[in-house]
Amino acid sequence: MAVEQTEVQALVDSAERVAAFTGAGISAESGIPTYRGDDGVWNKYDPAKYAEIGNFLADPAYYWSFFREVRYPVLRNARPNPAHLALARLEQQGKLSAVITQNIDGLHQEAGSEKVLELHGNTRRISCLGCGMGYSLDQVHHRLEEKFPPDCPACGGVLKPEVVFFGESLPMEVLDDAVEETRSCDLFLVVGSSLVVQPAASLPPLAVESGARLVIINRDPTPLDRLAHLVLHEKASDVLGPLIGLPD
């Protein structure tokens, strides 16, 4: 680990423009479970039912059970960990130009990152599909205590988190911006993603094609490891924490 750590440090030091690309693994140490794998939430909740737009609209109660039992208790207590903080610090130092994230937990912003491109939306923002009124996590949690599934207190419409569900398109402007950041960086840092979901997973190969070095920091192997200049099968905060002077 010490050798790889030095290598990551050297790659970051020599880079002029770093883009980070993050997934659920970076938030695992903040207590938010990943999707896939033995400890993933999909072992308990079927994503085809709770996160597919047609099924959600047919039965919002399934999603809101997931929200009540899994999402809300974890999100209301989750705080950024050293890996989120390290990326924010790199941006403040003028090294990192953007965090492109598949995460929907808002922890990069809470850590202080300014430019966060949320490819899959943000589950902390909840809005009414009828009147467009926006609500916070706490407001909706309060609502579902009195009415289940929760509806819009203003118009009675269906509430939905502002997350890209299966069957929905990614926000085009965000994706365009992410492609631009990917093309213009000279170091592309993947942190905590299985790299199997498209179109997000097409960004690391695009970075390589555009001449950037690719570093993958992920606990388990990914299908794109063979493209990378450096691969570390480690915990995100163990690698990124020391970059900002936290002991490893």
Owner of token pair 């069957």? 167
Closest to ligand OAD by CB, 144 or 200: 200
Q: How far apart are CA 148 and CA 101, in angstroms?
A: 31
Per CB under 6 A, does 23 bind ligand OAD? yes
120 has catalytic annotation: yes
Q: Could you tell me which stretch among 21-29, 61-69, 147-155, 171-179 binds ligand OAD (CB under 6 A)?
A: 21-29
User: Residue 82 CB: number of other CB atoms within 10 A?
Assistant: 23
Q: How far apart are CA 190 and CA 187, in angstroms?
A: 10
Considering only residues 106, 192, 204, 241, which one is a binding residue for ligand OAD as defined by CB under 6 A? 192
> Cβ 161 to ligand OAD, closest distance in Å?
10
Give the per-residue contact string, 37-76, with ligand OAD (x = CB under 6 A; - = no).
Answer: x--x------------------------------------
> Cβ 3 to ligand OAD, closest distance in Å?
19
Closest to ligand OAD by CB, 46 or 145: 46
What is the phi-psi region of residue 127: left when phi exceeds 0, alpha when psi lies from -120 to 50, beta otherwise? beta
Closest to ligand OAD by CB, 8 or 24: 24
> Cβ 165 to ligand OAD, closest distance in Å?
7
Per CB under 6 A, does 193 bind ligand OAD? yes
The tokens of 165 are what? 């569900």
Q: How far is CA 238 from CA 1, 63, 145, 204, in A?
A: 9, 34, 39, 22
199: preceding bond cis by omega (within 30 degrees): yes
Per CB under 6 A, does 81 bind ligand OAD? no
**164: phi then psi, degrees, rounded to nearest 5:** -75, 110
**11: phi then psi, degrees, rounded to nearest 5:** -65, -40
Q: Which of 108, 120, 229, 233 is catalytic?
A: 120
Size of the site for ligand OAD (CB under 6 A): 23
Active-site residue list: 120
